[in-house]
Amino acid sequence: MKRIVIDINSVLPLYSKGWISGIGRTTKELVEALDKMDNLPFEVVLYSQNTKGISGKQLGLSFTNKHICFPHKDWANKIIKNFRVRECATRYDLLHIPHNFEWVAKPQKTVVTIHDAMYFSYPDDVFNYKYYQSLYPTLAKRCKGIITCSEASKRDIMQYMGIAEDKIFVCPWGYRDDLFYPRQDKKTGNPFFLTVSCSTGRKNTMSVIRAYEKLVKQNPQHKLVLVWPKAPQTVIEYCNQPHLIDHIQIAKDVDDEQLSILYNEATATFFPSRYEGFGLPILESMACGTPVVTCQNSSLPEVGGEAALYVDPDDIDAMYNYMAEFEQGNLKKNDLARQCLEQTSKFSWKRCATQTIEAYQKCL
């Protein structure tokens, strides 16, 4: 039986630091979904690397775990590559790197998940994009195959990295249906609009704040809740202005269970991002039956479909108009909720795992 080795190092901060990135989160969901599949046509080994001894065993899955007690740093990974430590330790037939790039000794036996081409299509100095522009294609061009989460990301990878279409496999993400679903025990407090995955850059959160600021002039019932673990001081000061301080709340420490409750109790989620490889907040909000106001760029229409409400990312008036319509009760929430649930039925982690298995088989 062939052996697939999946690098899960992006998952491990959950057990060492208590937090996990979006890449780590989707990697965790994928390996958990694979573990639930019957009669996998290959052996799966979870690969981890750190000096703390934190390994794939923390996930509690049935897969074999292989841990190397060595720092997971760029310089260390180059040593791992040059001395073929990973290859000797795991003897893989196919290696899956689910975090955009890694130093690997055998790219011809490697599949890499490239989540998006943000560093090319929406460069931001904060992320040292020039470095990643030079780095990512070095593996993308030499690896056996590329997995990505949307047709939009596939097009961007083809355009910016010069990758052949038949080398890229689209495996859309899913959502936790045991966590994100319409709840019956909703509270009846003050209504509010929700914004998650906030930033002052491409996530475009300030546009939502400015649209809501226009609504505040009407003394609305709705408040605005921003799920923002580390909001910049400039944003905090802006929201603490006398005319906004009683209307806007910044939620810092929100776990997935609390996030699901917020989605359920929100009137609508605003996610006017300028670029996304997928857009999980859209899917998770709609899975809770809560409508989403988003944009028609990058992958967002793939996820939102006909259920989402669309605005231009710079059209603050359009965002304000939707807020006003919800405030006045002019939009049929039951119809919107039904459309949201119909759209989210097209996505699941089981489906993502099935498509990933197909990609593995074509690359073996």
Task: Give the mean pLDDT of the chain.
Answer: 95
State the fold for domain 192-344: Rossmann fold (3.40.50)
Task: Judge whether 284 and 267 are in contact, CB under 8 Å.
Answer: no
Residue 127's pLDDT is 64
CA-closest candidate to residue 195, choices 186, 183, 207, 181 = 207
CATH number of 3-174+348-363: 3.40.50.2000
Residue 122's pLDDT is 78
User: For the segment 143-162, what is each residue's pLDDT rounded down to a tens digit?
Assistant: 999 999 999 999 999 999 99
Mean of pLDDT values over 165-187:
94
- Give the pair of three-digit tokens for residue 202: 């491409």
Residue 126's pLDDT is 56
Residue 313's pLDDT is 97
Contacts of 145 (CB under 8 A, 6+ apart): 111, 112, 167, 168, 169, 359, 362, 363
User: For the segment 223-235, what is each residue's pLDDT rounded down to a tens digit?
Assistant: 999 999 999 999 9
Matching residue, tokens 């039925």: 345
Strand partners, 194: 225, 269
Distance CA 32, CA 217 (A): 48
User: For the segment 251-261, what is each residue's pLDDT rounded down to a tens digit?
Assistant: 998 999 999 99
Half-sphere exposure of 253 (CA within 13 A, CB side): 1
| Shared fold status for 3-174+348-363 and 192-344 | yes
Task: Judge whether 55 and 7 are in contact, CB under 8 Å.
Answer: no
Distances (CA, A) of 189 to 186, 257, 267, 363: 9, 18, 12, 52
Residue 333's pLDDT is 86
305 backbone φψ class: left, alpha, beta (φ>0; ψ -120 to 50): left
Longest dimension (CA), the chain: 67
User: For the segment 41-92, what is each residue's pLDDT rounded down to a tens digit?
Assistant: 999 999 999 999 999 999 999 999 999 999 999 999 999 999 999 999 999 9
pLDDT at residue 124 greater than cutoff 70:
no
Domain locations in the chain? 3-174+348-363, 192-344
H helices, E strands: number in the chain: 15, 13
Residue 239's pLDDT is 97
Residue 201's pLDDT is 87
User: For the segment 15-43, what is each residue's pLDDT rounded down to a tens digit?
Assistant: 999 888 899 999 999 999 999 999 999 99
Residue 110's pLDDT is 98
Residue 125's pLDDT is 60
Task: Judge whether 336 and 291 are in contact, CB under 8 Å.
Answer: yes
- Give the pair of three-digit tokens for residue 169: 């496999």
pLDDT at residue 7 greater than cutoff 70:
yes
Where residue 200 falls among pLDDT bands split at 50, 70, 90? confident
CA-closest candidate to residue 264, choices 161, 183, 209, 178 = 183
Any idea how long the chain is?
A: 364
Distance CA 181, CA 340 (A): 11
CA 99 to chain centre: 12
